[in-house]
Chains A and B, each alone.
Chain A
Amino acid sequence: MIALLKRDLALSVRAGGGFGLALAFFLIVVTLTPFAVGPDSGTLSPIAAGILWLGALLSCLLSLDRILALDFEDGALELLATAPIPLEGVATVKALAHWLTTGLPLTLAAPALGVLLNLPEPGFKWLTLSLAIGTPALSVIGTFGAALTVGLKRGGLLLSLIVLPLYVPTLIFGAEVARRGAQGMPLETPLALLGGITLATLALLPFASAAAIRINLR
């Protein structure tokens, strides 16, 4: 499994791997926001947490179709399915690799981008924490969506349509944690729910992803 993780990380940082794409997209979305809603700090400050979460979520979406489609196209997915590691393990490792190359950089970049949107000072800590807890769920759910659409030609749009509704709970509670944090309000409840969603997706969805891959490989 570590071999697979290393390979996926190596593939993502080499030519055409798409590492940094999500980060660049995140930067652009956040930079464009003041142009759209006006540079007034009184307007930006209350929506900063929400914009940052939405930007992170959309950036995450951008690289989902690469999780399994490339391996499917060159036949590696079939060979992985006959390898000694279970497909559930493959799905988990693929989600982990996606998180390490997308979710983690987004989380680390978010505080810097928070400055651009005039995020209130107490919010930085909670924004980072909520992204750190919430983005793994985005990768795991995204892997499930990628598994469902893996056999389809140009399934990218369908993948987005399937995955976006599933992202809603994570977005609601993640953005709520960041918003409440920024306003200094109590945030234990959304934080616990966000963590719960992530743990539940981590526990359940690799099995669903593996089942979907098996069906699509038939």
Chain B
Amino acid sequence: MEMNVTDLACTRGGMRVLEGVSFDVPSGRALVLRGPNGIGKTTLLRTLAGLQPADAGSVTPGPEAIAYASHADGNKAVLTVAENLTFWARLHGTSDIRPALRDFNLEALETRPAGSLSAGQKRRLGLARMAVTGRPIWLFDEPTVSLDTDSVALFAAAVDRHLGAGGSAIVATHIDLGLEGETLELAPFRAEAPEDHHDAFHEAFL
């Protein structure tokens, strides 16, 4: 599904961080977000996912077409890998978790409680969740943290398959995943620092 973002502005903790962000992600393509720490990659992704309102601008389609993978995976430690995935699948109205388990090499871990997995395995489970949402646009925030080289390749292959099936993806990452698509550098969209308002109220304390 195609995604259009026009003139988007977003805020973090009351501070405008990004302004005038515009891009298109056509079906079957990925967009890689780049920029230094604190530029607002996470804020942009959260805004696109509908977790916080945009200050200005428009995003189509809305959050109902978007699946979002944040830094945290949302796995429940006492539930098994299969139970965790089945829950997200049923919540999104899908039922088949087999392809997701296969794509992220979790089949051997299926009956293990998520709490007993290694950091990389937990991450893979968190990423496999995206495959069971059945949503066309995937947003990833630093998806490769704590993944080894093989798992990064697995992840890239899974996203590639998703793109091949007509989906699209936006990935904030610092490494090269070899995905089909553009790269967007966020630094030019950094919001102007607010002017110092030395108004009467402040001056009273100076």
Which residues in A have some Cβ–Cβ distance to B below 8 Å?
2-4, 6-7, 10-11, 14-17, 71, 74-76, 78-85, 217-218
Chain B residues with Cβ below 8 Å from A85 are 91
- Tell me if B91 and A83 are in contact (CB < 8 A): yes
Whole-angstrom distance between the Cβ of A208 and the nearest chain B Cβ: 19
How many whole Å from A200's CB to the nearest CB in chain B?
A: 29
Q: In the bound complex, what is the Cα–Cα distance between A78 and B51 (angstroms)?
A: 7
Chain A positions within 8 Å of B66 at CB level? 82
Which of B68-76, B155-163, B164-172 forms contacts with chain A? B68-76
Minimum distance in angstroms from B68 CB to a CB of chain A: 5
Q: Can you pick out 13 interface pairs between chain A and chain B where the beta carbons lie within 8 Å of each other? A: A3-B90, A4-B91, A7-B76, A7-B87, A11-B76, A71-B74, A78-B51, A78-B72, A79-B74, A79-B88, A80-B91, A84-B64, A218-B53
What is B's interface to A at a CB cutoff of 8 Å?
Answer: 49-53, 63-64, 66-68, 70-79, 83, 87-88, 90-93, 129
Question: What chain B residues lie within 8 Å of A14 (beta carbons)?
Answer: 78-79
Say whether B78 contacts A75, CB under 8 Å. Answer: no
A11 to B49, CA, bound (A): 27
- Does B79 contact A7, Cβ atoms closer than 8 Å? yes
Cα A2 to Cα B63 in complex, Å, equals 22
Contact A83 B74 (CB under 8 A): no
In the bound assembly, the distance between CA atoms of A29 and B200 in angstroms comes to 58
A104: min CB distance to chain B, Å:
22
Q: How far is the CA of A14 from the CA of B92 in the complex (A)?
A: 24
**A74 with B73, Cβ < 8 A, contacts A15-B78, A17-B78, A82-B67 known:** yes
What A residues does B50 contact at CB under 8 A?
81-82
List residues of chain B with CB within 8 A of the CB of A74: 72-77
* C-alpha gap A17/B79 in the complex (Å): 11
Smallest beta-carbon distance B73→chain A, Å: 6
| B93 contact set on A, CB distance < 8 A | 84
Contact of A10 with B68 at beta-carbon distance under 8 Å, contacts A76-B76, A85-B91 already known: no
Chain B minimum-CB-distance residue to A6: B87
Q: A-B pairs with the 10 shortest C-beta distances?
A: A75-B72, A3-B90, A76-B74, A14-B78, A75-B74, A79-B74, A218-B52, A7-B87, A83-B91, A3-B91
- Bound together, the chains give a CA A104 to CA B173 distance in angstroms of 48
CA distance A21 to B75 in the complex (A): 24
Which chain A residues border B52 with CB–CB below 8 Å? Answer: 217-218
**B87 & A3 in contact (Cβ 8 Å cutoff):** yes
Q: Specify which of A6, A75, A85 lies most central, judged by the most chain B CB atoms within 10 Å of its CB.
A: A75
CB-defined contacts of B49 to chain A, threshold 8 Å: 82
Closest A residue, CB atoms, query B64? A84
Residue in chain B with minimal CB distance to A13: B78
